[in-house]
C-alpha cells in the first residue's frame, strides 16, 4: 500500500491554492517533481525543500512567495529545472545554487533579487536556460558565465548589471585625452628641437637629438593619422545623414 511518502510527482499548478508551503514537505524523500506554480501560495520558501535530494523539477513560479531563496536548495544535486520566477523574492542569489551540477534550466526573473550575479553559476556546465531579468541585480556580469558552453537562452536585462568591458588598444589610442596629450608632447618636443638647433653653434647633433627627432616623427605621423580618421568619420556621418 502506497503512502504519500512514496509519491514521486506532485503537480498542482493553477489550482487557486493559498496559504504557505508546509515544512513537512521535506519528508517526501521520493519526490522527483513538484509543481505548485500559478497559485496564491504566499510566505517564504521552506528550507526543508533542500532535503528532497531526488527532486528533478521544482516549479514555484507565478506565486506570491516572499522572503529569500533558501541556500539549502543547493543540496538538490539531481535538480534539472528550477523556476522561481514572477514572485516577490528578495535578497541575493545564493552562491550554493552553483552546486546544482545537473541543472539545465534556472529561472529567477521578475523578482526583487539584489546583489551581484554569483560567479558560482559558472560551474553549471549543463545549464541551457538562464533567466535573471527584471530584478535589482547590480555589478558586472561575471566572466565565469562564459563557461556555460551549453547555454542557448540567457536573459539578464532590466537589472543594474554591466558587462565587464575589455580595454582595447584602439580605445586608448582614440581617446580624446590621449590624443590631446600626444599633440601637446609633440609640440613641446618640436619647440625643444628648434630651440636646441638655434643654440647649437657647430651644428652637430647628439644621440639625444636623434631620439627626439625620431619621437617627433612618430608622434607627428600618429597625429596626422588621427586627424585623417576623424575627417573620414565626419565625412561618413554627414553622408549618412544627407541620404
Instruction: Give the pLDDT confidence of 47-59 residue by residue, as tens digits.
Output: 999 999 999 999 9
Q: Burial, 102: exposed, middle or buried (Cβ in 10 Å; 0-12, 13-18, 19+)?
A: middle
User: Nearest-CA neighbor of 71 among 118, 124, 132?
Assistant: 118
Is 209 or 2 the better-scoring residue by pLDDT?
209
With a pLDDT cut of 70, the percent of the chain lying above it is 84
User: Nearest-CA neighbor of 190 among 208, 213, 206?
Assistant: 213
Per the structure block, which three cell numbers stand in for 140?
558586472
Q: Is a pLDDT exceeding 70 seen at residue 184?
A: yes
Alpha-carbon Rg for the chain, nearest whole angstrom, is 31
**What is the third-level CATH fold of 4-163?**
3.80.10
- Alpha-carbon torsion (92, 31, 7, 3), positive or negative: negative
Amino acid at each position: 500500500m502506497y503512502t504519500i511518502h512514496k509519491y514521486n510527482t506532485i503537480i498542482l499548478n493553477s489550482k487557486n491554492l493559498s496559504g504557505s508551503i508546509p515544512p513537512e514537505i521535506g519528508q517526501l524523500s521520493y519526490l522527483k517533481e513538484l509543481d505548485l506554480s500559478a497559485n496564491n501560495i504566499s510566505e517564504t520558501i521552506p528550507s526543508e525543500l533542500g532535503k528532497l535530494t531526488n527532486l528533478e523539477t521544482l516549479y514555484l513560479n507565478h506565486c506570491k512567495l516572499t522572503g529569500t531563496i533558501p541556500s539549502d536548495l543547493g543540496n538538490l544535486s539531481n535538480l534539472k529545472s528550477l523556476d522561481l520566477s514572477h514572485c516577490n523574492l528578495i535578497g541575493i542569489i545564493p552562491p550554493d545554487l552553483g552546486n546544482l551540477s545537473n541543472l539545465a534550466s534556472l529561472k529567477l526573473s521578475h523578482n526583487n533579487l539584489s546583489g551581484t550575479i554569483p560567479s558560482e553559476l559558472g560551474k553549471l556546465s549543463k545549464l541551457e536556460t538562464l533567466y535573471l531579468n527584471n530584478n535589482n541585480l547590480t555589478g558586472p556580469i561575471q566572466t565565469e558565465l562564459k563557461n556555460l558552453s551549453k547555454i542557448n537562452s540567457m536573459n539578464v536585462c532590466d537589472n543594474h548589471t554591466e558587462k565587464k568591458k575589455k580595454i582595447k588598444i584602439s580605445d586608448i589610442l582614440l581617446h580624446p585625452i590621449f590624443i590631446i596629450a600626444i599633440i601637446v608632447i609633440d609640440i613641446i618636443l618640436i619647440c625643444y628641437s628648434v630651440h636646441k638647433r638655434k643654440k647649437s653653434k657647430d651644428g652637430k647633433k647628439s644621440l639625444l637629438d636623434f631620439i627626439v627627432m625620431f619621437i617627433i616623427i612618430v608622434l607627428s605621423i600618429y597625429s596626422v593619422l588621427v586627424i585623417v580618421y576623424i575627417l573620414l568619420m565626419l565625412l561618413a556621418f554627414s553622408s549618412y545623414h544627407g541620404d
